[in-house]
Structure 1
Amino acid sequence: MDLWIPITIAAAFCQNLRSALQKHLKGKLGTTGATFIRFGYGFPFALIYLAGLNLVAGYGLPSPNVEFFVAGAVGGICQIIATFLLVYLFSFRNFAVGTAYSKTEPVQAAIFGLLILGETVTPAGVLAILIGVAGVILISVAQSPLTARNVISSMAGKPALIGLASAAFFGISAVSYRGASLSLGGPNFLMQAAFTLAYVTVFQTIVMAAWMRWREPEQLVASGVNWRAAVFVGLVGVLGSAGWVTAMTLQKVAYVRSLGQIELVFTFLSSWLVFRERIVFQEIVGCVLIVLAILIIMLVA
């Protein structure tokens, strides 16, 4: 098994845990504050990880160039925008359709990977990506009373457009992170990923802190007050991000993000086994499709 596969699965698990912790804190912090703690409390752990690789493992620090700084900054800003758009979707009554469109990220990541990095995907890889996206969309809309008429009428509506935009920004962000990491050219994939992660999280913290200081200072204060719980979000968030960037340094973004959809399977299983929530046939079919897509990707990637 290629190393990027277990790294991606671990990253997806950490992302699932981080999302659960953020939802718990959202009532105390609000959307902006809950988003900020991911970066604001995460960057110290990213710097510790980088220092550990340098001082303990003995890996030399890479020499960043203009391409690295630009790609990392673009990726960081796009990730913030994508996150805000995704949260904004929940203010719409028919947000489920928009959320489903936001799950088209692997498809868009494949397109941006081709346009920006010149990376191609095999026909079998394209099939796996499409199967996985179909499975995620089924799970996303499974609990909503959506009829064919409602889905068709909302395809060109605001939620759908916001969902597509969110997926696009997430796709550009992921491709940018891979481009930034690869531009370092060494000394090895672990240090390249760690250096990229440290730069991006510090950059995002500065950008978000400046925005909150200007527009929502009360959220900045609340983020400090709830530091005990926020520290765990930052730690788990960095573990997940380190996994994503490391995997995307080793493998094409489209494959990594497609495999990362296993996060939805984790969510489904926890809601079923732990919380004993009701499941519907669409969710089961969606999980089967995601698992099928993952198996195909593991064979062809």
Structure 2
Amino acid sequence: MITSPIWLPATLLAGGVQAWRTAVQRRVSQSLSLNAAGLVRYLYGVPFTLMLLGGYRLVFPAPLPSVGPLFLLFCAAGGLAQIIATNLLILAFTHRNFVVGTAYSKTEAAQGAVLSFLLLGERLSALAWAGISCGVAGVMLLSTGGKRMGPGDFLRALGQPAARAGIASGFFFALTAIGIRRATQTVETDDAVLAALMVLAVTVLLQTMMQGTYLLLREPGEMRRVFASWRVSGQVGLLSALGSACWFTGFATAPVALVRIVGQIEVAFTMAFGHFYLKEAMRRSELVGLLLVVGGVVLALAGAL
């Protein structure tokens, strides 16, 4: 159920910001361990997240609404799922290039549609399902990396480490979205943006504690390098806070599956960053895949109207 039209601009903005953040985080991951690279988005995102919440309350003054135990439970569950998903995504594009690694994770839209139906009872129109199919076809074409592949080759490619990590990343990102949506639904307020920012602030704090504790116990030397990388990691934190604020607003105001389908537009931004920022070549098959993804987004939007 769509409760506010703000979900659409928030989702589109989230896609652009997340592609930028992922590109910067990939550079961070080249000098940090897997868990340390994942931590920077939460640790450095905390101050920006609190600033967003504080700034919103200055513009729209209101007392903080009450929350219950389920709020913390869903925040923690969604936060943990995002930690796992982020680590898997970083792992995915250590095996292949930036665009292909992200493309595998975009199967999240299809996985999210199924999971949100099973766990939240959210239903989509036939056009939205057609959009999902079109988008999945697009990301699967992107995942070939420009190689000509028959059905057998494609099935074998799905068994590669990048494919397994990317698809698993998409699954946990879908679980993240469901956890966040449920958390926002437990906040006793009609202001969906305030609910989203509250969930974001608490979730990022919990994520920092969870992954920070793990890093201190298992990789204490990496913590020093996390703080030493503050110049680039600070950018990751800022972009992560902005992108997550937009994603969480989308989840608070529209069905998870619809937000994630439209969020596939991130692939277009990702390809732009991969081509212009990371200097990766763009192949003809990637352009066709991009057109399929955009077509899927258009179909999903048509189905939502």
Give the TM-score of the pair, scaled to structure 1.
0.90
CA RMSD of aligned residues (A): 2.6
User: Contact conserved, 2:93 with 2:100, CA < 8 A, in 1?
Assistant: no
Find out whether 1:259 has 2:262 as its counterpart: yes
1:24 deviation in Å?
2.0
Which stretch of the first structure deviates more once superposed, 247-256 or 85-94? 85-94
Task: Decide whether the 8 Å contact of 1:212 with 1:219 is kept in 2.
Answer: yes
Q: Structure 1 residues 52 and 281, CA, compared in 2 at 3 Å: closer, same or farther?
A: same
Q: Does the residue aligned with 2:61 lie in a helix, a strand or coil? A: coil
Equivalent residues of 1:14, 1:236 under 8 A apart: yes
Query: 1-side partners of 2:273 and 2:199: how far apart?
Result: 32
Matched, 1:9 2:12: yes
Which structure 2 residues correspond to residues 165-184 of structure 1 after superposition, within 5 A?
165-184=168-187
Q: Return 5+ residue gaps in structure 2 as ranges.
A: none
Q: Which amino acid aligns with 1:28?
A: S
User: Deviations for 1:105-162, whole angstroms, at most 9, x for unmatched residues?
Assistant: 1111111111221111111111111111211221222335655433223445665444
Q: Do the aligned residues in 2 keep the contact of 1:59 with 1:191 (CA within 8 Å)?
A: no
Q: Which runs of 5+ in 1 are unaligned?
A: none
Paired with 1:222 and 1:172, the residues of 2 have a C-alpha distance of: 30
Q: Does 1:31 align with 2:34?
A: yes
Q: How has the CA–CA distance of structure 1 residues 272 and 227 changed in structure 2, closer, same or farther, with 3 Å as cutoff? A: closer
Pick from 193, 196, 200 the counterpart of residue 197 of structure 1.
Answer: 200
Partner of 2:48: 45
SS at 2:30 equivalent: helix
Give how far 1:268 is off: 2.3
SS in structure 2 of the partner of residue 260 of structure 1: helix
Question: How far 1:177 moved relative to its partner?
Answer: 0.5
Question: Does the 8 Å contact 2:23/2:273 carry over to 1?
Answer: no
Distance (whole Å) between structure 2 residues aligned to residue 99 and residue 275 of structure 1 = 14
CA shift for structure 1 position 178? 0.8
SS of 1:245's equivalent in the other structure is helix
1:142 matches 2:141? no
Q: For residue 71 of structure 1, what is the amino acid of its counterpart?
A: F
What is the aligned partner in structure 2 of residue 297 from structure 1? 300
**Counterpart check, 1:234 vs 2:237:** yes
Task: State the one-letter code of the partner of 2:62.
Answer: Y
**TM-score normalised by the chain length of structure 2:** 0.89
Establish whether residue 164 from structure 1 lines up as the match of residue 159 from structure 2.
Answer: no
Count of residue pairs brought into register by the alignment: 301
Deviation at 1:272, TM superposition (A): 4.8
Aligned residue in 2 for 1:127:
130
Q: What is residue 250 of structure 2 aligned with on the other side?
A: 247
